[in-house]
């Protein structure tokens, strides 16, 4: 999960469009060479996790910020005993034939472009959640993965954690009866980011490349480091940040593919007067006809819901309601309650295990070796589908309108503003390839 205090240095440098697609990773390789792009807080997690994955070698690190590059290389050398190559531009990573896998821990607005370019360059991809910054990007990512026959895993690591997998299987076999409602909860306390004036670009930072496809703006500390999550140019708010994990679990447990026919989301940025653009309170409802998925974000002081236990000031997890009872599921395990008296009938604690990201990366690496997409626990197609729900909620919130969708997941009803938010305007050379 994200750690705001550690995401001090971020992002990766990325480039133009087509590369010679040279397939490098294979089951015959003794080791798979990994390049980590984006060396902020989540990038540090990637370094820790990849260093613990048998059969992986961190061969390169990449970031637009010199301080992050140098710190990242030193961190990897200390952890592994081997100094990685250092890059400031992802284009150079993708041109390196020794690199088999690109591990993307960049801000959201670079996920799709980085992943697609990596696929075109013949690299397999581990990309952080949410899979994409827009719905259109997620679809193009799936197309690229399939066309170039690449293995692309999204960093929704709960898909690889044993007690989550057991919980979802129990839901599918009727542990709470017919599930009619899945509720994802992201009650994560977020302090105000305040007001910060524009300032000079820090030495060693390629700010233009950090912004990439986003509009060109003066440097501002509040748009850098972790707080880029709270601006529409670069992030998707907490529903697309911490909430992306719970949204994926909610859709998984509800056993629904694709998008629902109707979506509505309301909320706002309450209490604070600061630079943040995204809401700190948000409620979204997705209507599937015979069932609903609800999602709630609260960044202010709040209590817990249902059978979920608070963790300090946070309460993060999922509730599944069925005809016979309900399940409360979070990182600590799950509990199943039956009947009007809410009798506890099953309690499964999470087992002590190594880092969940490393477990998820091990699953990814096994698929890189087998070349079977079916071996992945979080293939890009599912990751893009879950991200699309986050994006639909934000579109409804930003347009203050309910959305209707056709069977292909396209917005109907002549909502031009919503259609515009289905994708984004790209700046200069930093754009999705027009053709794969």
Alpha carbon distance 186, 249 (integer Å): 12
Q: How far apart are CA 229 and CA 241, in angstroms?
A: 7
Q: What is the pLDDT of residues 187-237, one digit of tens each?
A: 999 999 999 999 999 999 999 999 999 999 999 999 999 999 999 999 999
**Tens digits of residue pLDDT in 119-172:** 999 999 999 999 999 999 999 999 999 999 999 999 999 999 999 999 999 999
**How high is the pLDDT of residue 371?**
98
| Global pTM value | 0.93
| pLDDT for 433 | 84
Query: Which pLDDT score is estimated for 309?
Result: 77
pLDDT at 6: 31
* C-alpha to C-alpha distance for 222 and 274, rounded to whole angstroms: 10
Domain coordinates of the chain in residue numbers? 4-159+356-379, 161-194+209-353+387-421
- 205: which strand partners? 65
Question: 4-159+356-379 with 161-194+209-353+387-421: one CATH topology?
Answer: no
**DSSP class per residue in 292-337:** EEEEEEE-SS----TTPPPBTTBEEEEEEEESSEEEEEETTEEEEE
Q: Among 260, 268, 323, 269, which residue's Cα sits nearest to residue 294?
A: 260
As given in the structure block, the two tokens for residue 298 are 């609260």
The reply to whether CATH 3.40.50.720 applies to domain 4-159+356-379 is: yes
pLDDT digits (tens, 9 = 90+) for 278-315: 999 999 999 999 999 999 999 999 988 877 877 888 99
Tell whether the model's pLDDT for residue 414 goes beyond 90. no
Closest CA to 121 of 141, 142, 140, 101: 101
Has residue 13 got a pLDDT over 60? no
Structure tokens at 260: 């629902």
**Arithmetic mean of pLDDT, 82-110:** 97
Domain 161-194+209-353+387-421 has CATH 1.20.1050.10: no
> What per-residue confidence (pLDDT) applies to 2?
41
């Amino acid at each position: 999960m994200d750690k705001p205090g550690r995401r001090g240095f971020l992002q990766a440098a990325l480039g133009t469009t087509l590369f010679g697609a040279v397939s490098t990773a294979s089951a015959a390789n003794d080791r798979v060479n990994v390049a980590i792009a984006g060396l902020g807080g989540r990038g540090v997690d990637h370094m820790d996790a990849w260093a613990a994955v048998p059969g992986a070698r961190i061969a390169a690190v990449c970031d637009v910020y010199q301080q992050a590059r140098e710190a990242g290389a030193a961190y990897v050398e200390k952890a592994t005993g081997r100094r990685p190559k250092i890059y400031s531009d992802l284009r150079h990573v993708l041109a390196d034939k020794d690199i088999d896998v690109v591990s993307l821990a960049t801000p959201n607005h670079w996920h799709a472009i980085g992943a697609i370019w990596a696929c075109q360059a013949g690299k397999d991809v581990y990309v952080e959640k949410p899979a994409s910054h827009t719905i259109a990007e997620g679809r193009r990512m799936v197309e690229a993965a399939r066309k170039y026959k690449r293995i692309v895993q999204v960093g929704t690591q709960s898909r690889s954690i044993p007690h989550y997998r057991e919980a979802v299987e129990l839901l599918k076999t009727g542990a709470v009866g017919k599930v009619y409602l899945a509720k994802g909860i992201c009650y994560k306390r977020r302090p105000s980011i305040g007001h910060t004036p524009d300032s000079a670009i820090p030495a060693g930072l390629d700010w233009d490349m950090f912004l990439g496809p986003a509009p060109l703006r003066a440097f501002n500390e509040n748009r850098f480091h972790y707080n880029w999550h709270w601006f529409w140019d670069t992030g998707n708010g907490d529903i697309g940040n911490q909430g992306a994990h719970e949204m994926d679990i909610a859709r998984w447990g509800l056993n629904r593919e694709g998008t629902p026919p109707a979506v509505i989301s309301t909320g706002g940025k309450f209490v604070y007067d600061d630079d943040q653009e995204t809401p700190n309170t948000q409620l979204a409802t997705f209507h599937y006809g015979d069932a609903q998925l609800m999602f709630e974000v609260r960044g202010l002081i709040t209590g817990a819901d249902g059978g979920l236990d608070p963790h300090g000031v946070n309460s993060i997890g999922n509730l599944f309601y069925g005809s016979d009872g309900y399940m409360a599921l979070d990182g600590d395990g799950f509990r199943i309650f039956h009947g009007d008296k809410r009798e506890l009938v099953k309690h499964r604690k999470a087992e002590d295990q190594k880092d969940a990201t490393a477990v998820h990366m091990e699953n990814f690496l096994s698929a890189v070796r087998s070349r079977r997409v079916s071996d992945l626990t979080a293939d890009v197609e599912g990751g893009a589908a879950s991200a699309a729900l986050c994006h639909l909620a934000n579109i409804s919130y930003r347009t203050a309108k309910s959305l209707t969708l056709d069977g292909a997941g396209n917005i109907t009803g002549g909502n031009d503003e919503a259609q515009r938010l289905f994708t984004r305007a790209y700046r200069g050379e930093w754009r999705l390839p027009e053709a794969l």
